[in-house]
Amino acid sequence: MSRLVWGSLGVLLGAVGLGVYWSRDGFDPESIRGATVVITGCSTGIGEEMAYQYARLGAKILITARRENRLKEVVAKAMSLGAQEAHYVAGDMGKAEDCERTIQTAREKFGRLDYLVLNHVGSSLGSVSKLAENLKFWEDNPDMDFFVDFLNVNLISYVRLASLALPLLKEGGGHIVVMSSFGGRIPTMYFSYGNTVKFALDGFFSCLRAELKKADRNVSVTIAMLGLVHTPNVEAVMKVSIQKREEKTGDEAALAMAAPLDQTAQAVIRGGATRAREIYYPFYSWPISNIRRLPAFLEDYLVLNVLAP
Ligand SMILES: NC(=O)c1ccc[n+]([C@@H]2O[C@H](COP(=O)([O-])OP(=O)(O)OC[C@H]3O[C@@H](n4cnc5c(N)ncnc54)[C@H](OP(=O)(O)O)[C@@H]3O)[C@@H](O)[C@H]2O)c1
Ligand SMILES: *[C@@H]1O[C@H](CO)[C@@H](O)[C@H](O)[C@H]1NC(C)=O
């Protein structure tokens, strides 16, 4: 009897200890006050929410996206929430000159850079959410023009922006934050183009992290492996597909399980600030990211039957 009690107590204490250890990431909100932050893709979604949260913490932000009217509204709200400064560059990150203009503006306005948050996602050839409404296997629509453009907007631009910003980041011990998803670790059917980008970002930015470490540069690289997040675009796509289908359960359940926007943005900001190599949010993103470690038949079962939209 008493052995059972002591045993349970030991397990409980162990669990509590582990919980405390995991939740203590050493994040100091004050470290963001006055910090200079460039965030891409801030006219909606997670980028917009991160802009507001950095603003509340008293950062100086520079945001980008293509829609200037939205950026003006986000800048105004960020100032009202407490940003020390808020600027925008309206531009297409698929264009080299717009990437250059973004980092040049950061240099002029701030003189240094503490955070580069690479977040935008899009295509010049129509909205990605439209694509997600009409899911197709790659073999049914092997659109190479789309593929090349998608890599340019979402992969090449991330590398370009980081390369341009590195001199500024090196000066003050800066942070690079790269938005990714579990689709950067495992196959997710219908999104081969998106997986290509996220796998490649992991490859490039993991190499960059290693090289920066070896060269004793005080610049951290955080890769955020996210699950489904409840953004306005995700909600719109899910609503359309729920309306189209007879059996509604799948998409409705997915939307209900999607991570809240505010907590996702907070998890990414904390991860960047504490120089975490990777963050997984919500928690199930970690086991899903690792299913390729399972025997192949289990991996196939999960990829083909459980994770498919
Ligand atoms: N939402 C999710 O469930 C989820 C899950 C895992 C990972 N993620 C990742 O999290 C990040 C943010 O996702 P999100 O869902 O918040 O995206 P979102 O709501 O679709 O917003 C994308 C942002 O990128 C901007 N953008 C698109 N194309 C652009 C271009 N060519 N040049 C400059 N800006 C461009 C858009 O603004 P304009 O249209 O005004 O240019 C918009 O502000 C992405 O890296 C995504 O892969 C999201
Ligand atoms: C690295 O940069 C941070 C600022 O982000 C600074 O607090 C820290 O002291 C720096 N570390 C080294 C070893 O220079």
**pTM for the complete prediction?**
0.93
Q: Which residue has the higher pLDDT, 10 or 302?
A: 302
Question: Considering Cα of 196, then 201, then 202, then 206, what sign does the dihedral take?
Answer: positive
Of the pLDDT bands very low, low, confident and very high (cuts 50, 70, 90), residue 246 is low
Distance (Å) from CA 112 to ligand 2 centroid:
14
Question: pLDDT (tens digit, 9 = 90+) per residue, 274-294?
Answer: 999 999 999 999 999 999 999
Which ligand is the nearest neighbour of the Cα of 212? 2
Q: Answer whether residue 23 is part of any domain.
A: no
Q: What is the number of domains present in the chain?
A: 1
Residues lining ligand 1, judged by CB closer than 6 Å?
41-47, 64-67, 70, 92-94, 119-122, 153, 179, 181, 226, 228-229, 231, 233-234
Q: Answer whether residue 22 is part of any domain.
A: no
Question: pLDDT (tens digit, 9 = 90+) per residue, 97-151?
Answer: 999 999 999 999 999 999 999 999 999 988 777 777 778 899 998 999 999 999 9
The CATH number of the domain where 127 resides is what?
3.40.50.720
User: What's the domain range around 151?
Assistant: 3-15+31-306
Q: Answer whether residue 24 is part of any domain.
A: no
Q: Answer whether residue 72 is part of any domain.
A: yes
Q: Answer whether residue 224 is part of any domain.
A: yes
pLDDT of residue 3: 67
Q: Is 137 exposed, middle or buried (0-12, 13-18, 19+ CB in 10 A)?
A: exposed
Q: Answer whether residue 25 is part of any domain.
A: no
Distance (Å) from CA 5 to ligand 1 centroid:
51
Question: pLDDT (tens digit, 9 = 90+) per residue, 209-242?
Answer: 999 999 999 999 999 999 999 999 999 888 877 7
Q: Which residue has the higher pLDDT, 16 or 304?
A: 304
Q: Answer whether residue 196 is part of any domain.
A: yes
Q: Answer whether residue 66 is part of any domain.
A: yes
